[in-house]
Amino acid sequence: MRPKIYLVPGIFFLILACSPLHAEESLTWQQCVSEAKESHPDLSSALALLQQAEADKRITGGTSLPRISLAVSSERSGSTEEGRNSSVAHSYSLLAEQLLYDGHKTSNMVASTREAIKGAQYNYNVVSADLRFALRTAFAQLLKAQELVGLAGEIADRRQRNVRLISLRYQGGREHIGSLRQAEADLSQAQFEVAQAKRGLVLAQTILASALGRDSHKPIRVQGGFNASELLSSKPDLALLAKNNPLFQQLDTKSKSARFDLDAAKNAFSPQLYISSSVGKGSVNSLPFKAVDWSAGLTLSVPIYEGGTGQAKVLKAMAVVSQRNADEKSGYLQIFNLLEESWKNFQDARQLVVVKKKFLEAAQERSAIANAQYSNGLVTFNDWVIIENNLVSAEKEFLNAGANLLIAEAQWIQAKGDGIDG
Residues 6+ away with beta carbon under 8 Å from 341: 415
Per CATH, the number for 23-74+102-416 is 1.20.1600.10
d(C-alpha 406, C-alpha 132), whole Å:
12
Longest dimension (CA), the chain: 135
Q: What is the pLDDT of residue 282?
A: 65
> For 229-266, how does the pLDDT look when each residue is reduced to its tens digit (9 = 90+)?
877 778 999 999 999 999 999 999 999 999 988 888 88
d(C-alpha 422, C-alpha 420), whole Å:
5
d(C-alpha 147, C-alpha 401), whole Å:
13
262 touches 115 (CB < 8 A)? no
d(C-alpha 300, C-alpha 317), whole Å:
26
d(C-alpha 419, C-alpha 422), whole Å:
5
**Residue 100 phi, psi (nearest 5):** -100, -40
Distances (CA, A) of 183 to 164, 375, 385: 9, 15, 9
d(C-alpha 210, C-alpha 32), whole Å:
11
β-pair type (293-301, 272-284): antiparallel
d(C-alpha 334, C-alpha 384), whole Å:
50
Residues 6+ away with beta carbon under 8 Å from 151: 197, 395, 396, 399
Using CB atoms within 10 Å of the CB of residue 66, give its burial: 0 to 12 exposed, 13 to 18 middle, 19+ buried.
exposed
Q: What is the pLDDT of residue 86?
A: 67
Q: What is the pLDDT of residue 191?
A: 97
How distant is the alpha carbon of residue 133 from its chain centre? 8
First to last CA, the chain: 71
Q: What is the pLDDT of residue 292?
A: 72
For residue 102, count other CB atoms closer than 10 A to its CB.
Answer: 21
Q: What angle do CA 302, 303, 306 make, to 5 degrees?
A: 165
What does the chain come to in residues? 422
Q: What is the pLDDT of residue 85?
A: 64
Choose among 392, 401, 388, 412: nearest CA to 355.
401
Residues of the chain with pLDDT under 50: 1-21
208 touches 138 (CB < 8 A)? yes
For residue 420, count other CB atoms closer than 10 A to its CB.
Answer: 22
Choose among 11, 59, 108, 68: nearest CA to 317.
108
Q: What is the pLDDT of residue 100?
A: 76
Task: Specify the amino acid at residue 407.
Answer: I
d(C-alpha 104, C-alpha 264), whole Å:
7
d(C-alpha 214, C-alpha 224), whole Å:
21
Q: Using only the alpha carbons of the chain, give its radius of gyration.
A: 38
Q: What is the pLDDT of residue 283?
A: 63
Distances (CA, A) of 2 to 5, 7, 9, 10, 174: 9, 12, 16, 17, 59
Q: What is the pLDDT of residue 94?
A: 81
